[in-house]
Chains A and B, each alone.
Chain A
Amino acid sequence: MDRIADIIRERFGYDGDVTAETVAAEVEGWDSVAHVELIIAIEMEFGIRLTTGETSDLPNVGALVAAVERHVSRRAGSR
């Protein structure tokens, strides 16, 4: 969560707190293209690949964190 919050704050120059309840509309510049850019940055940070379904219709940052954690633990489990 902290790492993802950092990425979001850095990308959008967002000064507020990023919590699980934060939604894209609260963060200036978080439009659909920036969203994909953010996903790519997160994928690179964690070494994972999220699917199109997982990255669309995300209600808030918490859902994004959950998707990332799912991939990270799946990869850890497969080792």
Chain B
Amino acid sequence: MNDVPAPERPVVAADAVDALLKEVRPDMTYRELDVVVRKRKRVAAPREPASGKVMRIAVAGDATTNYVAAPLPLLLEARGIDAVLHHVPYASLEAEVLREGSELARWRPDLLIVMQTPLAIKDWPGEFEGAQAVEAFVAARVEHVMTLCERARERFGCEVIVDNWHTLPLRPHGSLGRRMPGERNSVIRRMNAELDRRASDGVRIHDVEGLSSLVGSRRWVDWRLWFHAKQPMSFESIVPYGFSYAAAIASSYRGDVKCIAVDLDNTLWGGVIGDDGIGGIHFQQGDPQGEAFQEFQKYLARLKARGLILAVCSKNEPENARLPFEQPGMVLRLDDFAAFKANWMPKSENIRAIAAELNIGLDAIVFVDDNPVERGLVRSALPTVKVVEMPEDPADYPMALDKTGWFEAARISSEDLQRTQQYLDNAKRRELAASVTDYESYLRTLEQCAYIGDFLPEQIERITQLVNKTNQFNLTTQRVGSGDIQALVGRDDVLRVAVRLTDKFGDNGLIAVLYGSFRGDELLITQWLMSCRVFNRGVEQMTMNHVVARCRERGVRRIIGEYRATKKNVVVKDLYERLGFARDKAEDTSESEVQFWALDLSGYEDLPHSIEVNVYGSESK
């Protein structure tokens, strides 16, 4: 002991603190948590506060709160928040808030938390009172506590979080209680509804009613603890209660989690798409495994709807990874993801790329992967990324995410609700705003290589599929039957173009189809579509250059492009304009959603792109 040089001791202590914080898990028992709390107290705090600031939390309550609140600083520290507690003496919140120069006022809290228990209510209305008397009781009770909270907020400039009430584990009148406004739990439900109505961004509700029902109200209360010590909840309940408070506090004092990066195989669907194929993976209704994965996807969709961004982070061939999202029955679709990383790079690299692309911190990312090896790699490479410990059974996936408490938010903003769209827009804007040379040089690093030419026999099936499945980059959305594409092959009056694209990450396969018919010295393009994952990579320009070259060989002087607006193809609304076409009013029909665009070939110069082009027949591989 004595030969440890003194200056190194803080470092040892900091490591000890980190080791202790790693022991903090939502599923720990109260005894385990208590042991860590005690050990943490014994380690001096040589660390700099993780957040650079120590948060001052005042705890008030209508019962004994010291044991209940004791684990909070540790639980917050585990979330990167350094906090000190101040206990407002039992049942003296009124005086502390309202009196000038009170101890609480001098202490200057950043946050006031108000713990409440229905066990402390002594003036219940009569159980057989009518609704009117009950409403008066409810209004008075809620008015009292909310006024105090609002006053505290004004006076101390602090945020306030107030418990709602859990329902009681005693039901002397059974289900009949639902018809009795004065029955205890009926009164509690009304009080909670009233509390919800009065809540605001500054005075938030801590949902003890919801939390206690997850644990079970019979386990939530320990009557002996109440009678002996006026402690409002069992020791067992202190753990979820503390975690829940830490989540509620962290949601407004730390940057929220902004993005969930998910693996695909055995995380979003059952099986491995690359091995099992589209028919072999589980994501369908009617298949128990499939339904479990669907439920998980629905959980993610609910988070996404509130403004969390979804990103894919999967080791897969990009082609394979996207395929399942185009299938009916898949809950999440490609456009639910603001970033899509499917490749063979280390996942930590992809998570870094996602963070850079979305312009968010690594600590704003939650990583979800069924594979413990991948989780371990990400944990060690990127310690600030939040990694969910996933259970083996997909049926338990949603609850595993739910239990982390990482997705709590202090408020809902309309901005949040549009967040994914915003990020998509931003990504587009960045591309437009970034100087052309920058984006061009990025595209050049992709080492894109296109194979372009007539339809090949082995491509017919894929072409049919692409024509019928593509919604976004699809100028006319004209679906075809199984023999229709084959019928075009060999016709001299039809121009057929298929594009396969490779880049340094692999083969994207057949990604674009165009065909049209020659009439006199004009070409009318009736079908043009492209897989959405190769948007804005120069394929459009490259394809048009090819079409123009083929037209010039035949002496064609004008190209007419048709655009039919659908709900999904806005992305190509301006495509022809961008490629140098002009609106051809003469060809426009009365149907306003059908537009024709014309290109005069005499002035056409090849559009720039950075794709190496291989035309079939000349130098096809």
The interface of chain A, by Cβ under 8 A from chain B, is 31-33, 35-37, 39-40, 52, 55-56
Contact = CB atoms under 8 A, between A and B. Distances in A.
Interface residues of B, number: 12
A32 B67 CA distance: 11
Contacts of B224: 36, 39, 52, 55
Contacts of B22: none
Nearest to A13: B38
Nearest to A40: B235
B235 A52 contact: no
Given A33-B67, A36-B225, A39-B224, 4 more contacts: A33-B225, A33-B228, A33-B229, A37-B235
A35 B97 CA distance: 32
23 contacts: A31-B229, A32-B64, A32-B228, A32-B229, A32-B230, A33-B64, A33-B67, A33-B225, A33-B228, A33-B229, A35-B228, A35-B229, A36-B222, A36-B224, A36-B229, A37-B235, A39-B224, A40-B235, A52-B224, A52-B227, A52-B228, A55-B228, A56-B227
Contacts of A52: 224, 227-228
B227 A33 contact: no
Interface string B64-89: 10110000000000000000000000
B582 to A, nearest CB: 81
B231 interface: yes
A27 to B, nearest CB: 16
B42 to A, nearest CB: 10
Nearest to B231: A33
Contacts of A36: 222, 224-225, 228-229, 231
Top-6 shortest CB links A-B: A32-B229, A33-B229, A33-B67, A36-B228, A36-B225, A33-B231
Nearest to A32: B229
B228 A56 contact: yes
B226 to A, nearest CB: 9
A31 B56 CA distance: 26
Interface in B206-250: 222, 224-225, 227-231, 235
Contacts of B66: 33
Contacts of A39: 224
A32 B224 CA distance: 11
Contacts of B225: 33, 36
Nearest to B30: A37
Contacts of B229: 31-33, 35-36
Interface string B135-147: 0000000000000
A55 B222 CA distance: 15
Interface string B145-188: 00000000000000000000000000000000000000000000
A14 to B, nearest CB: 14
